[in-house]
Amino acid sequence: MSLLKRLLLPLVVAIAIIVAYLFFWPVPLEPVAWTPPAAPGLVGTYQPNQKLGGTERLSLGSGFAPEDVALDSLGRIYAGLDDGRIMRLQSDGTRPEFFADTKGRPLGLKFDSAENLIVADSVKGLLSIDPKGQVSVLTTAADGIPFRITNDLDIAADGTIFFTDASSRFPLTNYKADILEHQSTGRLLAFDPATKATRLVLGGLSFANGVALSPDQNFVLVNETSKYRIHRVWLRGARAGQSEIFINNLPGFPDGISSNGKDKFWLALVTPRDATLDKLLPHPFLRKAVWRLPPFLRPAPKRYSFVLGLDMDGRVVENLQNNSADCYAQIANVVENGGYLYFGSIGEATVGRWKLK
């Protein structure tokens, strides 16, 4: 064997091993092909701006990723951290203190009429925490299928809790696998506190996420993160039980959504669309190959502030952004209260607060 062949042989073998690994090594994903609509881009309605510059950061003392924010009747601010703790701030955003520990991962937060904090905990299920911080479990499964990522919620005037289970395939610690797989196992569910029954409202969602009831309680919205859109499910009237697309082809990944109780829904886009991911989505085989790459080489959220205001018909009426290096990034939820927007985030250690102009 010539010297050149002896030198090249290890390289050829190494390349063959890498190729075999990238295309044939077993992975837990069974991707489904989906061709997304062409991204609208950050133009026109979504023109970039710096309106969210100057967002305050309210310290929680310690911890990371306060996914959602809730305010009680006294205006005190609550946020759940990735270590299971729920922290409370005074109404002026000071004096962080411990409120409760779910021993899981609290995501969506909302107070009910009895001042219990209802929590969508991705690990423990749908929880209720009384004013003294005592935790109780409301529900952990529906139709025999356990929740894998109990995600967000809203509470109707009659006490019904509408909430999402983002995936029945993967836990939150592996949420990127669900987004890359696109199996559409997410669900919008409803829990009746009187009967303790949990029922399916809308299934077949690709990473079911934020939930918001309309002020008149006639419909509920649910975000479908992996398909860049929001569904509306009618609860009353001639169309009760029917669903439709409320807004489609968003320029980012919709995460949380909330109603201001009057005329507007606030939508958090946790990060702009990823052009590489959009190109991969029609090709299941390539998505398996991407999953075999080291995690730092896979598509990931970018640091960006992005919030939209939607009217009752799904039209964009507010476009709030900030792409500066020090932006309050990866906003996961938005809550309007007392002339301010409060932000939860998966990329910050603080609660964001921005004064409405």
Q: How many residues does the chain have?
A: 357
Contact, 195 vs 210, CB < 8 A? no
Backbone angles phi, psi at 10, to 5 degrees: -60, -35
Q: Angle, to 10 degrees, between the axis of helix 284-291 and the axis of helix 3-24?
A: 110
Q: What is the DSSP letter of 229?
A: E
CA distance 197 to 139: 8
User: Is the alpha carbon torsion for 53, 57, 62, 67 positive or negative?
Assistant: negative
CA distance 206 to 281: 13
pLDDT score, position 293: 83
Give the neighbor-by-neighbor strand order of the sheet with 252-259. 252-259, 265-272, 305-310, 316-322
pLDDT score, position 9: 61
Residue 67 to residues 1, 10, 85: CA-CA distances in angstroms?
62, 48, 12
pLDDT score, position 11: 60
pLDDT score, position 296: 81
Report the CATH superfamily, name and number, of domain 3-355. Answer: TolB, C-terminal domain (2.120.10.30)
Q: What is the pLDDT of residues 154-204, one digit of tens each?
A: 999 999 999 999 999 999 999 999 999 999 999 999 999 999 999 999 999
Exposure of 341 in the CB half-sphere (CA atoms within 13 A): 30
So where are the chain's domains?
3-355
Contact, 133 vs 100, CB < 8 A? yes
Q: How far is CA 204 from the centre of its chain?
A: 17
CA angle, 55 then 56 then 60, to 5°:
135
User: pLDDT below 70 — which residues of the chain?
Assistant: 1-25, 27
Exposure of 215 in the CB half-sphere (CA atoms within 13 A): 11
Backbone angles phi, psi at 243, to 5 degrees: -125, 160
If DSSP codes are grouped into helix, strand and coil, which group holds residue 12? helix
Contact, 109 vs 95, CB < 8 A? no
